[in-house]
Structure 1
Amino acid sequence: MIKSHSRWARPIALALAASLVASCGLPRVGPDKNEIFAGSVQREGDAFVVAINDRVTRATAVIPALGFSETLKNASVQGADIIRPGDTLGLTIWENVDDGLLAAEMSNSTTLESVQVDGSGFIFVPYAGRIKAAGNTPEAIRRIITQKLEDQTPDPQVQVRRTAGNGATVTILGSAGAQGVYPIELPTRTLSSMLASAGGVTTSSEIAQITLTRGTHSETIWFEDLYDHPELDIALRDGDRILVEADQRAFTALGATGSQTQLTFESRTLSALEALAQLGGLNASTADPTGVFVFRNEAPEIANTVLGRTDLIGAQRLIYVLDLTEPNGMFMARDFLIRDGDTIYVTEAPSVKWNRTIAAVNGTLGGARGLATTVTGGSTE
């Protein structure tokens, strides 16, 4: 009777193993190629699957367009010592007579040490009246006061100086050499000179961006463009805020890649080939080089161009596929640009699934043999 049980132990174990493998999904990193293609619009799915070629790379090569408006670029360089409301001025007035309008007895000069610019930007000077100071330089104020006093005292001489107040300033924040509030002085009246005064940028110059905020309006340029295009070296204004930061664009990598993570761009333009290199390449033991996919929500104008249509409205789900084993596969990967928010997914090689299935069957058979041994009382014959 024991041998009779043994005769059926192995078939029972094999059947049990096959049943378990068939009923249980094997572990994996995500969908395979067939499952992705099955979800395409062409097969009544909800995403367009498109093979990458030269036409597709041209249609999808969108690079963020950064730059300053004509308003900022055409603004003239401002004087380095513009008076503002709240500043305090010191005035000295000399008169070419012994008994002048302002001078004390036995003196031909008068000093006014604390003349504050009011909220409306004016100061009051005896015999000269109310004078607009804000927006003018000390030299311009000197000429105005001199002109107003000339009709009342012969050949007046006037000196104007700022004694308190910070004058025009800008604020520099972010990845600058030294953040802080900086005065607009003669050597630092433009963007590049002000950044140099603050120690430059501390992030990679290739992906550094400069955002200038004036009032409630903000505009951004690439840091390197500031030196390649002199017209972007704009004149600064009081109250400007300058933010230096690294490019915030990022992509996500999943599947059989060297790293499954989210990474920021390391260059202004990032190709699929460079993105894979940034990830550490494909996993040599598990990746399928014929199944490199890029998932993206594409703008309707680009989607229509890629698909050769004109009827698509609103953002479209597109899945771009690369086959690195094709003769031009590497060239396509080099020319296809990754964009902000993309997901790169690499499928597993078919052999990986097969090996995993075999391993699962072997493991299940081992368990079944143990069960059979128990049933036969320890004999496996």
Structure 2
Amino acid sequence: MHFIAKTNVLKPAFLVAALALGACSTNPGSGPLTDDVNNKIQTENAPAYELVPLNPATVKILHTHEPKGLAGVFTDRRPPASIVFGIGDVVSVTIFEAAAGGLFIPAEAGVRPGNYVTIPDQSVDNDGFITVPYAGQIKAAGRTAVEIQRSIIEKIGNRAIEPQAVVSMSSQRTQLISVLGEVNSPARYPASAAGAKDKVLDAITRAGGIKGQGFETWVMLERGGRRATVPFENLVMAPENNVYVRPDDSIYVYREQQKFMAFGGSGQSGEFNFDAWRINLGEAVGKAGGLLDGQADPSSVYLYRREPREVAAQLGIDVSKYTSETIPVIFNVNLRDPGGFFLTTKVMMKNGDIIYVSNSRNVETAKFLNFLRVIMATGSDAVNLSNDALIFRNNIKLAP
């Protein structure tokens, strides 16, 4: 009887040893282990990535690189040209003569006061012309008021008495600027005349200003089929992005909180709002509750993001391996090093960044030992149950 029980003990022992070999891969966890990230352990379909340590050199590259913004896309810094007339604009023409008896001023004294005549307003026709008495058709589309005035004077100069002309835009239906979205008074208004050059912030002010907080507001400028988007506060803090608006520009204002995610050994896991125009990596780790004292590996704090090709190249990455415009990069900062905290204050977070804090190796060891403890307890229970069954069977045989 005792020999059988000992033999049965060996079976759970072999089972424990077999399961122990695969325990590391079956342990529960919140993400990859430090060695998995550092050694680029990947599944078959996972995208390739680059691992870059955060040090003063890499932080300087990231700190000095800013997104292109409006200034990077719309590079013409010159103020917009003078307003020109377009098809459909309503034009007002007034003609002055130096004395009575000319084309427009009657010779009879007292018949008409003043020395000018105002022609009824007219729209620029589909061919781009307006009609002026005694001058005929005058090209208006694509020309400024001064250019139209000169044409009128040239046409009537040899018939009128020292004529002068004043041309103005009675109603502007082209050369408009649109401001839409999360503004208090969405508007489509005429572009400013020469000398009054509006910028993006001026256009938003014309539309009553933004509805929401600056840090959650984004501004998109569309011009000539090109678009660029910046946070609203970027227009204030980086004046070069507050570019001149031009006729036919469209400005779309919308609200969208910038967010990042945190996983692993951080105090809290989940999605977090910036609640500011920009925050640094240190502030983001703090928002996520810091590092769990009994779980996190301070030397294995990772920042996941996609970097533009030009930035990746400056970081020493071989970008020729990638065909996309952005490169997957994992930045590693060692917060066991006291200087690591200074580095985190220099790295600005981007919308959609992911922070991952790997578990300490001691935590993984404790998980493994607990796994063994459960398996061994299960094996012990099986042996005890087997022995109890043998004793019960033998007692039955010995019964009279």
* Fold shared, TM-score > 0.5 on shorter chain: yes
Q: What fraction of aligned residue pairs are identical, expressed as a percent?
A: 25
Determine if contact 2:222/2:251 at 8 Å carries over to the other structure: yes
Within a 5 Å distance, the mapping from 1:2-13 to structure 2 comes to none
The Cα offsets for residues 168-221 of structure 1, whole Å up to 9 and x where unpaired, read as: 311123444443422335697402322111133345535755443332344566
> For residues 290 and 351 of structure 1, what CA distance do their matches in structure 2 show?
13
Determine if contact 1:249/1:341 at 8 Å carries over to the other structure: yes
Give, as a single letter, the amino acid of the residue that structure 1 aligns with 2:336: T
Shift of 1:117: 0.5
Shift of 1:38: 3.5
Give, as a single letter, the amino acid of the residue that structure 1 aligns with 2:205: A
Residues 217 and 143 of structure 1: CA distance in aligned 2, closer, same or farther (over 3 Å): same
Q: Identify which of 284, 302, 317 aligns with 1:293.
A: 302
Residues 220 and 49 of structure 1: CA distance in aligned 2, closer, same or farther (over 3 Å): closer
Residues 194 and 98 of structure 1: CA distance in aligned 2, closer, same or farther (over 3 Å): same
- Higher mean Cα deviation, 220-229 or 351-360? 220-229
Determine if contact 1:73/1:234 at 8 Å carries over to the other structure: yes
> For residues 290 and 164 of structure 1, what CA distance do their matches in structure 2 show?
67
Shift of 1:330: 1.5
State the match for 1:329 in structure 2: 340
- Asked if 1:66 corresponds to 2:74, the answer is no
Give, as a single letter, the amino acid of the residue that structure 2 aligns with 1:72: D
Q: Identify which of 58, 74, 79 aligns with 1:75.
A: 79
Residues 185 and 345 of structure 1: CA distance in aligned 2, closer, same or farther (over 3 Å): same
Residues 378 and 343 of structure 1: CA distance in aligned 2, closer, same or farther (over 3 Å): farther
Within a 5 Å distance, the mapping from 1:129-278 to structure 2 comes to 129-135=136-142, 141=148, 144-145=151-152, 148-154=155-161, 162=169, 166-185=173-192, 189-191=197-199, 192-202=201-211, 204-205=213-214, 210-218=219-227, 223-224=232-233, 226-227=235-236, 233-244=242-253, 253-261=262-270, 270-278=279-287
Structure 1 spans left out of the alignment, 5+ residues: 41-45
Aligned length: 369
The Cα offsets for residues 147-176 of structure 1, whole Å up to 9 and x where unpaired, read as: 643532446686756555535311123444
> For residues 203 and 269 of structure 1, what CA distance do their matches in structure 2 show?
16
TM-score (norm 2): 0.69
The Cα offsets for residues 45-79 of structure 1, whole Å up to 9 and x where unpaired, read as: x8765543323322443332435378632225645
Residues 115 and 336 of structure 1: CA distance in aligned 2, closer, same or farther (over 3 Å): closer
Shift of 1:4: 6.9
Structure 2 spans left out of the alignment, 5+ residues: 42-47, 393-400
> For residues 239 and 328 of structure 2, what CA distance do their matches in structure 1 show?
40
Within a 5 Å distance, the mapping from 1:26-175 to structure 2 comes to 26-39=27-40, 49=51, 51-61=53-63, 62-68=65-71, 72-76=76-80, 78=82, 82-89=84-91, 113=120, 115-135=122-142, 141=148, 144-145=151-152, 148-154=155-161, 162=169, 166-175=173-182
Determine if contact 1:214/1:241 at 8 Å carries over to the other structure: yes
Shift of 1:242: 2.0
CA RMSD of aligned residues (A): 4.7
Determine if contact 2:91/2:123 at 8 Å carries over to the other structure: yes
State the match for 2:290 in structure 1: 281
TM-score (norm 1): 0.72
Determine if contact 1:210/1:220 at 8 Å carries over to the other structure: yes
